[in-house]
Structure 1
Amino acid sequence: MRASLIQINVDPQEPAAERRVRAAALVHEQAGSDLVVLPELWHVGAFAFESFAAAAEPLGGPTARAMSAAARDAGVWLHAGSIVEEAPGGALCNTSLVFSPSGELVRTYRKIHRFGFDKGEAVLMTAGTEPVTLPLPDTTLGLATCYDLRFPELFRALVDAGAQTFVVPAGWPAKRRGHWTLLARARAVENLSYVLACGTAGTHAGVEQAGHSVVFDPWGETVAEAGPGEEVLTVDLDPARVTKVREEFPALKDRVLGR
């Protein structure tokens, strides 16, 4: 299975409409991949809190329409990162969108763990409540977003639901880049799963982004890692490796708590 992570640069001077067009073009260039991933809130910037309300859109809004067309044109499964969703009733959610190669919106995931403590996303957005998985022809995806990476119980729930490959779009700050790599590797090791962690480049509302999108295999080995700037990271994965590693090192069977 070939996967491409698009570490797009978020420039506050670039209009969102232009970034949608550019993101769609980058997706189209990945025709030949099976799965393409974009980062969290790339259309507005994960730390651009003051812009969230103005950038909010429904699930059928302009970002979803552009990404649906991009998935269909490229013939790929597309995890289109996340948008500020204007949910029914007017609530705002940090919502991931996944499209099939026909352009159908097949899964949404509302971020469960909102970052900011008593400000920012934590007070502006409504939390999701349910873990979400998606079976693909070669693997089952478990969906998580950015700050979720710090909460291993979510990933255990995803494994229990059949996940073999975690997809984690993010807008992770550069000053905590070490945590980004450490936590993504930990989720791979403890769950014997692939982790595809896709971040942004650039600056969100003055917050420098970490970049360094990374893919870990089920043993925690680095498959590939991007640099700090805009980059497309393309990797070939062996979905059967998850089953093989879990059979050879069946640590998940020894779980006692949480069942």
Structure 2
Amino acid sequence: MRASLIQIGVDPGEPVEKRRTRAAALVREQAGADLVVLPELWTVGAFAYDAFASGAEPLDGPTASAMAAAARDAGVWLHAGSLVERAAEGLYNTSLVFSPAGELVRSYRKIHRFGFDRGEAVLMGAGDEIATAELPDATLGLATCYDLRFPELFRLLVDAGAQLLVIPAGWPARRREHWTLLARARAVENQAYVLACGTAGTHADVEQAGHSIVVDPWGEVLAEAGAGEQVLTVELDVAKVARTREEFPALRDRLLGLPAPRR
């Protein structure tokens, strides 16, 4: 399987319409890939809290329409990163997965919202469903940015059959070492590929980490971007997930339902 991660820059001086067109063109350039991934909230910026309400869209809005057309034109499975979803009950940080026919086959509302009682944590609702997407050759487990810090979510994704853990993000540069460390940890502990796609640039005075990364089931880094705009393209051996779990069957030794700690 060939996967391409598009580390697009988010510049507040660039109109959203122009960035949407540019992102769609970058997706089309990946024709020949099996899976293409975009970052979190690339239309507005993950830290541009003041723009969330004005930049919110329904799931059949302009970004979804542009990404559906780009996936169809390129003939790829497209994880279109996430957008600010406007739903009847409020706003959500929602990821979208499109088929090569341009059909929206899966959406995922981010469960863990970042902000510590401000920003995303208070402006958006929390998702409440584990999400996977079935591709012809692999099952994707969907998570978004801050979710990366919560290993129990990834265990549930593995239990649901995930082989590739796909994590769009808008991770800040000041915590870049955490980004790399956690991506490798999620790969090792779940014996799965991790495809973590971040943004470049600076928005809302927050410099983005970039450094999108692909990690194999043994924790080896297959490719890592720099800080600027870049496309990473990597060949993945999906069968390596099963081989790793068979050769080193740590997941088999999980102990669940342990008693509560004594006080």
Aligned AA for 2:222? V
What is the DSSP-based 3-state SS (H/G/I as helix, E as strand, rest coil) of the residue aligned with 2:101? coil
CA 1:194/1:65 → structure 2, altered by over 3 Å: closer, same or farther?
Answer: same
Deviation at 1:258, TM superposition (A): 5.6
Matched position secondary structure for 2:201:
strand
Equivalent-residue separation in structure 1 for 2:134 and 2:219 (angstroms): 22
Residue-by-residue CA offset, 1:204-237 (whole Å, 9 max, x unaligned): 2110000000000000000000000000000000
TM-score scaled to structure 2, two decimals? 0.97
Take 1:119 and 1:257, find their aligned partners in 2: how far apart are those partners?
34
Q: Does residue 159 in structure 1 map to residue 158 in structure 2?
A: yes
Q: Structure 1 counterpart of 2:80, which letter?
A: A
Counterpart of 2:118 in structure 1 is: 119
The count of aligned residue pairs is: 258
Q: Which residue in 2 is equivalent to 1:7?
A: 7
Q: Within the alignment, does 1:211 sit opposite 2:218 as a pair?
A: no
| 1:184 partner SS | helix
Q: 1:18 to 1:242 in 2, by over 3 A?
A: same
Distance 2:64 2:217 in 1: 31
Distance 2:10 2:51 in 1: 14
Report the Cα distance in structure 2 between the residues aligned to 1:16 and 1:134, rounded to whole angstroms. 28
Q: Which runs of 5+ in 2 are unaligned?
A: 259-263
- The answer on 1:186 being equivalent to 2:185 is yes
Superposed CA RMSD:
0.8
Map 1:5-154 to 2 at 5 A.
5-89=5-89, 91-154=90-153
Residues 126-166 of structure 1: CA deviation (Å, up to 9, x unaligned): 00001101111111000000000000000000000000100
Q: What is the letter of the counterpart of residue 198 of structure 2?
A: G
**1:73-101: CA deviation from partner (whole Å, max 9, x where unpaired):** 00000000000000123x00000000000
SS at match of 2:166: strand
| Partner AA of 1:249 in structure 2 | F
SS in 2 for 1:46: coil
The alignment partner of 2:234 has SS state of: strand
Q: Distance in 1 between matches of 2:53 and 2:67?
A: 21
Equivalent AA in structure 2 for residue 31 of structure 1: A
Residue in structure 1 matched with residue 256 of structure 2 by the alignment:
257
2: distance between equivalents of 1:136 and 1:103? 14
Partners in 1 of 2:51 and 2:256 — Cα distance?
41
Equivalent position of 2:261 in the other structure:
none
Give the counterpart letter for 1:172 in structure 2: W
Residue aligning to 2:244 = 245
| Identity percentage of aligned residues | 78
**How far did 1:257 drift?**
2.5
CA distance in 2, matches of 1:3, 1:88: 34
Which of structure 1's runs of 4+ aligned residues deviate more than 4 A?
none
Rounded Cα–Cα distance in structure 1 between residues aligned with 2:74 and 2:257: 41
Matched position secondary structure for 1:22: helix
3-state DSSP of counterpart to 1:106: strand
**Distance verdict in 2 for CA 1:254–1:8, change over 3 Å:** same
Per-residue deviation, 1:180: 0.1
In 2, the alpha carbon distance for the partners of 1:20 and 1:139 equals 28
- Partner letter of residue 42 of structure 2? W
